[in-house]
Amino acid sequence: MIKTLNQSQFIDEMTFSKDSSYNNCFSYEGKIALFNYLEQLEEDTGEPIECDPITFCCEYTEEKNISHIEEQYEECNNMTEKQAREWLEDRTTLIEFDGGVIYQQF
């Protein structure tokens, strides 16, 4: 069973209780960027996507800038920002927005 959510409802779904360890997975702007990406993915594939906030928090990571990926992926050490961006784009989904980036972990 899948229900259709608008952007505001998606943001509400992605906001956990204060007691949840998932509460700070994405900034407000990150939630909007992720919503727009997922909505476009649904349109492109013709397949509905289940809104599962915990899965999204486990599959995607938000960073203030792309240079922080060095902490996640050793291969990115000593890369320029442009090289790191290309490295990520070749391997996974990269969502850039004002205030940060979201990438799908692999």
Does residue 16 sit within a domain? Answer: yes
- 47 vs 75, more confident: 47
For residue 19, the model assigns a pLDDT of: 64
pLDDT of residue 17: 62
Q: Identify the weakest region by mean pLDDT among 3-17, 25-39, 84-98.
A: 3-17
Domain region containing 49:
7-66+94-104
Lookup result for tokens 């980036």: 101
Is residue 72 in some structural domain? no
Residue 48 lies inside a defined structural domain of this protein: yes
In whole angstroms, what is the distance from residue 29 CA to residue 47 CA?
A: 25
Number of folded domains in the chain? 1
The mean predicted confidence, pLDDT, of the chain is 88
Residue 86 lies in a domain: no
Question: Is 58 within the bounds of a domain?
Answer: yes
Note whether residue 47 is domain-resident.
Answer: yes
Among 99, 95, 104, CA closest to 36: 95
**2 part of a folded domain:** no
pLDDT digits (tens, 9 = 90+) for 52-93: 999 999 999 999 988 777 777 878 888 888 888 899 899 999
Residue 71 included in any domain: no
Average pLDDT, stretch 37-51?
95
Q: What is the pLDDT of residue 18?
A: 65
Residue 1 pLDDT > 70: no
Torsion on CA atoms 11, 56, 65, 68, rounded to nearest 10: 150
